[in-house]
Amino acid sequence: MAKNKPGRPTKYKPEMCETVIELMREGASQDEVIGHLDISRDTFYRWKEENKDEMCETVIELMREGASQDEVIGHLDISRDTFYRWKEENKEFSDSIKRGIRLSQAWWEREGRISLRDREFNYTGWYMNMKNRFKWADKQEVKNEGITTVIVKSKIPHYPGEQDEDGYGES
């Protein structure tokens, strides 16, 4: 037999989540949403936590139009910590972000391809965006970490230029 939670019954109805998503998609602030639903800030945060799976659709929609993860964080009005915690704890949300990143990159690539012949197109800005957001690179970078010593056996009793140094040949 299910136990009832103590306290007042919830005001939450599934269609409210759709209202929240629609209002935020239109650019409404968190306070506007809270006022529209006539709920407290604590209730809003609790509902947001409980219904984070519903935000996957919004993530995909935003990123399909080229949005960055930071833009999604801002649109959802959550902290980076919350965003990364949700990615860690919720496979569906994590998969939505991964899919969204691919969709965002595809959108930016298409925009660049289509705009290349446009004289007003800022190629440098577009290219820097691609390098910074999607790890494009001009060249392969080689990292030399450590010291390599090569010993060469030679009949020459000194290294070149050694005889020009102070104290050469002194015993």
Q: Are 45 and 27 contacting, i.e. CB atoms less than 8 angstroms apart?
A: no
Structure tokens, 142: 């080689």
Which residue matches tokens 């290294």? 159
CB atoms closer than 10 angstroms to residue 167: 6
Q: Give the list of residues 6+ apart from residue 124 with CB closer than 8 angstroms, or none.
A: none
The whole-number pLDDT of residue 161 equals 63
**CA–CA gap between residue 23 and residue 30 (Å, rounded):** 9
Q: What pLDDT digit, counting tens, does each position of 66-101 carry? A: 999 999 999 887 888 888 888 888 888 899 999 999
Q: Give the list of residues 6+ apart from residue 20 with CB closer than 8 angstroms, or none.
A: 33, 37, 47
C-alpha dihedral, 40 to 45 to 49 to 55, nearest 10° = 100
Among candidate residues 76, 86, 84, 136, the one with its CA nearest the CA of residue 112: 136
The series of mean pLDDT values per 10 residues for the chain, 171 residues long, is: 58 72 72 86 78 80 94 87 85 91 95 92 91 83 76 69 65 57
- Count, residues in the chain: 171
